[in-house]
A and B are shown apart, each in its own frame.
Chain A
């Protein structure tokens, strides 16, 4: 995607989101550009939410992952274009679901679900669609809290951001 060597891509894939450790930053879609200038990898990353407290840690993690391979990386935080959940890869969506976080749906489905109009968010425990929203804001800014009516499992839903 970024036009970088397999090694660099692997290095970046090895860095995960500290709040969702199963999700690599590559699958999250927050690495936007990699450029090699004077032996330094300039890496553009973009935040999921403005106040995402994980960005500094992610930046540090990338730099230290590169340092371990004797490579230099410099992090540049970019705001535009703004991140959307559409940038989460298929592999990322699967990792989320396996981890117990329902992956973001399309904007229309999402709005209906968050307004409590339709049962469209699948329980990550038993797969039932008979779920309800408990709170629009979950354990982090990017998630809402749901509960399964059938198996009673509470779970996070990754909100759609288009």
Chain B
């Protein structure tokens, strides 16, 4: 029972990073300029590296034939635990940056807490990952300010992205059964408690960027429990293609 919960919790942590990493990977060779292209794919690489750590641990729990690859690629859509936010399409550069920013601030908070987890593997992964994620936060915050407080056009696009994506932000903090279990057994953080710090940090950067959160928002929940948006099927079709077409293939 405990192992099943821990396995599930590892998927919660890994899936967000993996699906966002995949979205960023789509930009490889398509970034607005070379340096940004490299930056976004570097972030993707960091995220995938972290995911490998979570899924190696998950595969060990699952036992049998399970590997990090099977955990990552051989699940059905409803079995993925990522949020709506990370499955949102790239649209334009403003969307990419704002989506990243909303996630990075959350990600940094979570990792900070995981460094005090009762689970040693999670502590090790978090201590490793936080160094990378601090840098991500720095990158996306700087770009949010640059776009928001930039030209009229960049401001408008950034504001549109904020207004569109904000509705997916609170799902990050709505605990599923597994996340509540993690909080109770002190394996993971109490998400509800992190919400106010999150709001503070996001608001303060947005203020500097001369951007504002929409006044009324109907937040969207459900992806974490498997009710994904239409986007998810397309992401998985590309992501899983090789493993589905050539089962057990290796590099």
Please list the residues of chain A having a beta carbon within 8 angstroms of any beta carbon in chain B: 47, 49-53, 79-83, 114, 134-141, 145, 159, 161-162
Please list the residues of chain B having a beta carbon within 8 angstroms of any beta carbon in chain A: 35-36, 38-39, 42-43, 45-50, 52-53, 123-125, 127-129, 131-132, 135, 138-139
**B34 → chain A, closest Cβ, in Å?**
8
Q: Given the interface contacts A80-B124, A80-B128, A82-B127, does A50 sit within 8 Å of B53 by beta carbon?
A: yes
| A49 partner residues in chain B, CB cutoff 8 A | 45-46, 49, 132
Residue of A nearest to B36 (CB): A135
Is the Cβ of B46 less than 8 Å from the Cβ of A51? yes
Compute how far the CA of A140 lies from the CA of B46 in the bound complex, rounded to whole angstroms.
Answer: 11
Is the Cβ of B35 less than 8 Å from the Cβ of A50? no
Compute how far the CA of A138 lies from the CA of B46 in the bound complex, rounded to whole angstroms.
Answer: 13
Is the Cβ of A50 less than 8 Å from the Cβ of B132? yes
Compute how far the CA of A136 lies from the CA of B135 in the bound complex, rounded to whole angstroms.
Answer: 9
Is the Cβ of A80 less than 8 Å from the Cβ of B127? yes
Interface of A, secondary structure class, is loop
**B27 → chain A, closest Cβ, in Å?**
13
| A134 partner residues in chain B, CB cutoff 8 A | 35
Q: Given the interface contacts A80-B123, A137-B42, does A51 sit within 8 Å of B49 by beta carbon?
A: yes
**A154 → chain B, closest Cβ, in Å?**
11
Is the Cβ of A161 less than 8 Å from the Cβ of B128? no
**A55 → chain B, closest Cβ, in Å?**
9
| B127 partner residues in chain A, CB cutoff 8 A | 79-82
Compute how far the CA of A138 lies from the CA of B45 in the bound complex, rounded to whole angstroms.
Answer: 13
Q: Given the interface contacts A82-B131, A136-B139, does A50 sit within 8 Å of B46 by beta carbon?
A: yes
